[in-house]
Chains A and B, each alone.
Chain A
Amino acid sequence: MTPRDLIFFTLAIMVAGLIGYLIADRLCPRNYPRWLVWAFAPPTGLGICSLIVFFFRRPLTTVEAMVLAALLFFWFRSHRTSFDGYRIVSSWRVPILAVVFAIGLGWSVGSSVIHVERYPNGLTDGWNIWNSHAKYLAAGGKTWTVDIQNTAHPDYPLLLPGVVVHAWRYIGSNSPDATGFVGILFELSAVGILAATLMKLRSPIVGMLMALVLIGSPEYIHNAASEYADVPLSVFIVSTIALICLYESEESKPVGLIALSGFMAGCAAWTKNEGVPFTLATIAVLLLPVFWSPSATVRRIGGFAAGLSLPLAAIVYFKVTIALPNDLFDNRTSADLIAKISDPSRYLLIFKSYILTGWTFGGWAFNPFLPILAFIGLSGVDRSISRSFSWRGGVAIVAMLQVVYFVIYVITPLELNYHLRSSMDRLLMHVWPACLLLAGMVVRKQALSASP
């Protein structure tokens, strides 16, 4: 990437980040620290910019400028310029762990940048699916909806291609490196959301340690730089669950947080088809308490639905008018499905694969599972967490998603060993940041409450 391209790429990301921040700022409670709001800015902004690309395409910069102007107008109307939130940051004593965290993050990002330089088009899924879709979206003219069908998996949703097109439009060319940098940006978003949410709900030490474990998951970092959409999907999954946790932790139950959560869930479904069962699982979990607390549930699901509506509109429009049937479900016969469902060896094989891949999916030389468990045990377990709706809901969402993945493997038309080998590690990546968040939430709050 040339310095000129890098400048315009940075501008594209700054525009998306600012749009994201202004939206997150409107939806988060006023008393929230600014760094927490900023943590949710990148996925929000990139999600919005992707939707703008999809709905408007050519005049996207005009639409983005209008959206930005409107958001800035409302922001200046409702805010006096204040740096109080940042003063808290400047008053922090920087603990050694923060320095260690920054070094780890810098080292990892540096390594990812070199990866992008070597593989400018990403790895197979990167160029074969997401960049191909982005190129048709960027340059295919009015026939892009037809042209895109000459790519691999034309039924896959368009959040990531949309974000890439957003960056390309600012750069002025289809700079291949930009796609890898977008992947790194999503990885950093996951790190930021994980750290910031745990800092708010638990302690800075727990937040930084869990985020450090994520940075130290080589396959996760590798997938991000290779422009695999599994990392952006994981960002939207952890964002959704983090925002539900934040919503439930506030006595006032600010509806903006749950609306932002709905938007993130919608963006998950707009990123990959696997995001659709995630969104459905989240809706089911949020709806479940309707039997014992109907008014709170209606308020919660109403806010969630409001946030979900925009990405949902894009998904429905895309699936109904453009996308071809999915290769896993097209041309299936009931006899084939029944044969697969009634074959116990398939269940055993999938179960074994879950056990084996579950231990290795991060590509670790040093597996962090046991040290994390020891850390949680020694820090003290917050027993009240098992009674909290948000934590139980988060666990239920992750578990339901795994059940869906399991069922898909049972009925897959692909050769099962091949399908497991080629995808299970990435499917587990989808929930890895969310699992770290939920694990961090188990730590007792008082045990490690030192201010950063």
Chain B
Amino acid sequence: MIRTTLLWLVGAVLVIGTFWNIHIADSAVAGIEPRGEEDVTVIENKYLPIEFELIRKYPNTKRVGYISALTVKGEPPDDLDNLRFAQLRYVMIPRILVRGVGEQFVIGSFTPGKPVPEAPDNLVQVYDAGTGMILYRQKKTP
């Protein structure tokens, strides 16, 4: 009798504990920022005007270079820069994003509202998305 009572008691504790765990998980989900503020979605929205420009004018472009405020200054990318690069690389698939200025087209990813650093000499601006992302292309060699 005591054993059965204890068994039901332990079962009830397990069930209540599980519901408490679900409540904690549910509360955490409720605190997540709205969909439009999620990092990858933000990057995607910043990039989309450039994608439309590429589709409109240079649809066969597959490989695209990448520069940021840090790399333009010749500094190594930090963790945040690496994260932003990875996020942009993801949203650009099936295009291929690679670091550097060696490709025909290069995307500059900068902080909106801050002055855009001067682009490397071999690049000329093609399109400014107005979102902190700028599309460059190689200067035509004479």
Contacts and interface: CB of A to CB of B under 8 A. Distances in A.
Nearest to B33: A118
B29 to A, nearest CB: 5
A100 interface: yes
Nearest to A135: B93
A118 B11 contact: no
Contacts of B30: 114
B93 to A, nearest CB: 4
B56 interface: no
Contact of A118 (B19, B26, B29): B29
A372 B11 CA distance: 9
A97 B21 CA distance: 17
Contacts of B38: 118-121
B18 A215 contact: yes
Contacts of A363: 25
Nearest to A128: B86
A374 interface: yes
A115 interface: yes
Contacts of A108: 22, 25-26
B70 interface: no
B32 A115 contact: yes
Given A139-B93, A371-B17, A221 B25 contact: yes
Nearest to A144: B94
A209 B25 CA distance: 19
Nearest to B96: A150
A366 interface: yes
A150 B97 contact: yes
Interface in B16-50: 16-22, 24-26, 28-30, 32-35, 38, 40-41
A363 B22 CA distance: 11
Of residues B24, B30, B87, B94, which shows the largest number of chain A Cβ atoms within 10 Å of its Cβ? Answer: B94
Nearest to A107: B22
Contacts, number: 124
Chain B contact patch, size range? 35 or more
A140 B94 contact: yes
Q: How large is the interface on A (under 10, 10 to 19, 20 to 34, 35 or more residues)?
A: 35 or more
Contacts of B93: 132, 135-136, 139-140, 151
B114 interface: no
B18 A147 contact: no
Nearest to A100: B15
A10 interface: no
A111 B96 CA distance: 35
Main secondary structure of the interface of B (DSSP, over half): helix
Contacts of B84: none
Interface in A114-137: 114-115, 117-121, 127-128, 131-132, 135-136
A interface secondary structure, majority: helix
Interface in B79-114: 86-87, 89-90, 93-94, 96-98
B3 A150 contact: no
B60 to A, nearest CB: 12
B55 interface: no
B17 A378 contact: no
A365 interface: yes
A378 B15 contact: no
Name which of A111, A136, A213 has the most chain B CB atoms within 10 A of its CB. A111
Contact of A216 (B6, B7, B17): B17
B17 A368 contact: yes
Given A114-B29, A115-B29, A368-B14, A136 B94 contact: yes
A413 interface: no
Interface string A31-46: 0000000000000000
A365 B20 contact: yes
Interface string A203-218: 0010001001101111
Contacts of A57: none
A104 B25 CA distance: 12
A366 B21 contact: yes
Interface of B: 3, 6-7, 10-11, 13-22, 24-26, 28-30, 32-35, 38, 40-41, 86-87, 89-90, 93-94, 96-98
Given A150-B89, A150-B96, 20 more contacts: A97-B11, A111-B29, A117-B35, A118-B32, A120-B41, A121-B40, A121-B90, A135-B90, A135-B93, A147-B96, A150-B98, A213-B14, A215-B22, A217-B21, A218-B22, A362-B21, A366-B16, A371-B17, A374-B6, A375-B10
